[in-house]
Amino acid sequence: MRIENYPEIIPGKNPFKKIYLAIFLWITGRAIQAAARTDRVVKKEFEMLPDDFMLYLGVSPNGPGFVVGKDSNGKAKYMGAKLKGKSITLKMIIKNIEAAFLVFTFQESTAVGFAHDRFMVSGNLDEACRIGRVLDIVEIYLLPKIITKLAVKRYPNWKQMSPIRKHVGRVIIYTRAILGF
Amino acid sequence: MKLTEQFKFFNQAKIISGNKGLNNIPVELDDYNASKPLIITDKKSVEKKFDKIFIKALSDSNLIIGALYGSVSNEAKIAEVRELVDLYIARGCDSIIAIGSESSMNTAKAVNLMLCEKKDFLEIKDVNQNLKPLIGILTIDSRDTFTTDIVTVDARTLQSNYLFPNVVIIDPRMVKGGSEESVVERSLLALTQSIEAGTYGVNNPMNDSYIYSANQYIYENIKVLSKNRQETEAAVAIANAVYMAGVAFSNAPTGIAYALAKEIHKLTGESIGKVAAIILPHALRWINGKKDNGIKDKILQSLIGIEGYAKTPSEKRSIMVIDEIENLIKSFPKSLPSNLKDLKLQRYILENIANIIPDKIEYKITAKECLAIIDAAWSSEKEKV
């Protein structure tokens, strides 16, 4: 056997999926900040989190991802895409880019993604469940019903979220997410 | 439910089964602090482009493939193993991934043993240490000892708990396709391993759970998959059954049908799956007449379901198992002959095999009884052996 006939192989890259995920996670991160300042349920969920709370939601091994934490006033704040220099209290990592693509293109709902062992969570499980609920609400605001139904476990009925609250909230959250306040 | 007084069960493999299963490999290797695997696969897998699917699944990971060796022969060979040890060292690899056939896995296990024991494979007598991380990827060619604790190289066999792969991956992309014959062969070999694992030796409740699940998966999916080899659910179910049968087989004494089939395969090259399936009902008919062992009632339940099981009187359940297996075999006339005679085997070879089997298995059987089982399978006569 000639060893040089069996060279090292470096697996390729998938830039399209990475770019899609980077954009999706950027919007979601900023939308969490906006939703926590607009929607009372999300606001309450954030109030229940500890003062030093800082979440990283990203894709293994090299991202993309986002960091959302509480600022000095105790309000939710999008803190960028990079982990460096941040003391993360809750890490939610999707095991690979394909799994992230399945979840964030809604081929699999977040709950099914968890059941299929696509996530690694390090931190307080109670906080992770809280963030799961926040993500569901943010998706309801960001996406049309036909898509959101694929992403969340149960789509809220009129009593749980009135159309007025949903549509007005959607406009405000989109505006805040784009403008970043 | 009565608990057996004493039993043992061991399985170290973590199983990852389902959509995009292959993409989990970087994270799994990371758990072992490994990032540079040596990939060992066979020519058939390369022809089917399984190596390409595998490399693509590792996109955007931090893994570097130390080397991809895709020329493993039909049987693992010591010369090849030695060369792969050199390749592993030269490339600075830290783990091994076997894709495809049993020979790929045997080669991978032997390389792993030589690296850890720092001896030639032929000098290793037993294994008493954890080996390097080994991942097995099941494909349509994986069968027999792929997921077991056994390694065979050049007719030398070793068995140890340390030889189980650490992780087994079942991904739909790797288990769909192939011919009807291949589906029937690997499914019925798994069924033989599984049913025999529950028939000889002491009652083992842990092993039984693997056995019943494997039987159920095979019985429910073999006909679907043999008709449509692209049926994802059935393909994944059969691959899971192959895995579970392998684990059950590792935790039980070797059965007679399997031992005969293995020996016939070794001496004639005939498919082990076909031979095992033909012999199985006859071996079961023989064991069913024994006082200390017999076919368990629950095997019938795993084959035909609770309703059929409840309808069958208890004294007829073991005979019903044999009838069900015979009917199952008959449903694949294109892929599986009904007797050994139609496989065009040399009769004298079978007689020689009957003489050596009693020394190769734990269960007490005479050469005469082995020959009687072979005789019954030769022309598939239904009389009691």
Mutation choice for B interface testing from A3, A96, A109 by most B CBs within 10 A: A96
Q: What's the pLDDT band for A139 if we cut at 50, 70, 90? A: confident
Closest CB from A9, A10, A98 relative to B23:
A98
Tally helices (H) and strands (E) across chain A: 7, 5
The reported pLDDT for the residue numbered A173 is 79
Q: Delimit the domains of chain B by residue range.
A: 14-175, 180-379
* Residues of A in Cβ contact (< 8 Å) with B84: 1
How is residue B273 written in tokens?
A: 């799956």
Query: Looking at beta carbons, which residues of chain B come within 8 Å of A99?
Result: 20, 23-24
Q: What pLDDT, on a 0 to 100 scale, did the predictor assign at position B55?
A: 94
Q: Kindly state the tokens that stand for B169.
A: 């991956």
Residues of chain B with C-beta less than 8 angstroms from the C-beta of A12 = 55-56, 59
Residue B84: partners with Cβ closer than 8 Å, 6 or more residues away: A1, B38, B40, B69, B107, B111
Q: Distance from B134 to chain A by nearest Cα, in Å?
A: 19
E-strand ranges in chain B read 14-17, 37-42, 67-72, 95-99, 134-137, 150-153, 156-159, 167-170
Given CB atoms, is B53 within the 8 Å cutoff of chain A? no
Q: Does B65 touch chain A (CB under 8 A)?
A: yes
**What is the rounded average pLDDT of the residues A9-24?**
92
Q: Which long-range contacts (CB under 8 A, 24 or more apart) does B108-114 make?
A: B108/B40, B108/B134, B108/B136, B109/B134, B109/B151, B109/B163, B110/B76, B110/B78, B110/B81, B110/B151, B110/B153, B111/B38, B111/B40, B111/B81, B111/B84, B111/B85, B113/B151, B113/B158, B113/B163, B114/B81, B114/B82, B114/B85
Nearest CA in chain B to A17: B60
Q: State the smallest CA–CA distance between residue A163 and chain B in angstroms.
A: 36
Between CA B300 and CA B120 the distance in angstroms is 46
At A17-40, the pLDDT tens digits run 999 999 999 988 988 888 888 888
Chain A residues touching B91 at Cβ < 8 A: 3, 6, 8
Q: Which of B24, B56, B68 sits opposite A96 (nearest CB)?
A: B24
Going A84 to B31 to B26 to A54, the CA torsion angle's sign is negative
Asked if CATH classification 3.40.50.2000 holds for the domain at B180-379, the reply, yes or no, is no
The C-alpha atoms of residue A74 and residue A52 are separated, in whole angstroms, by 9
| Cβ–Cβ pairs < 8 A, chains A and B | 77
Same fold, B14-175 and B180-379: no
| Helices and strands (H and E) in chain B: how many | 15, 8
pLDDT at B1: 64
Tokens of B135: 């991942």
Q: Does the CA dihedral B139-B145-B148-B150 come out positive or negative? A: negative
Specify the DSSP element, H or E, that contains A58. strand A54-59
Q: Which of 3.40.50.1970, 1.10.3720.10, 3.90.470.20, 3.40.50.2300 is the CATH number of B14-175? A: 3.40.50.1970
- Asked if B59's CB is within 8 angstroms of A12's CB, the reply is yes
pLDDT tens for each residue of B362-385: 888 888 989 999 988 888 654 444
Measure B60 CA to nearest chain A CA, in Å.
Answer: 5
Indicate the DSSP class of residue B244: H
pLDDT at A161 over 80: no
Structural domains in chain A, CATH included, are 14-179 (3.30.1050)
| pLDDT < 50: residue spans in chain B | 382-385
Using an 8 Å CB-CB cutoff, list chain A residues near B26. 60-61, 96
ipTM of the complex: 0.81
What is the reported pLDDT for B293? 64
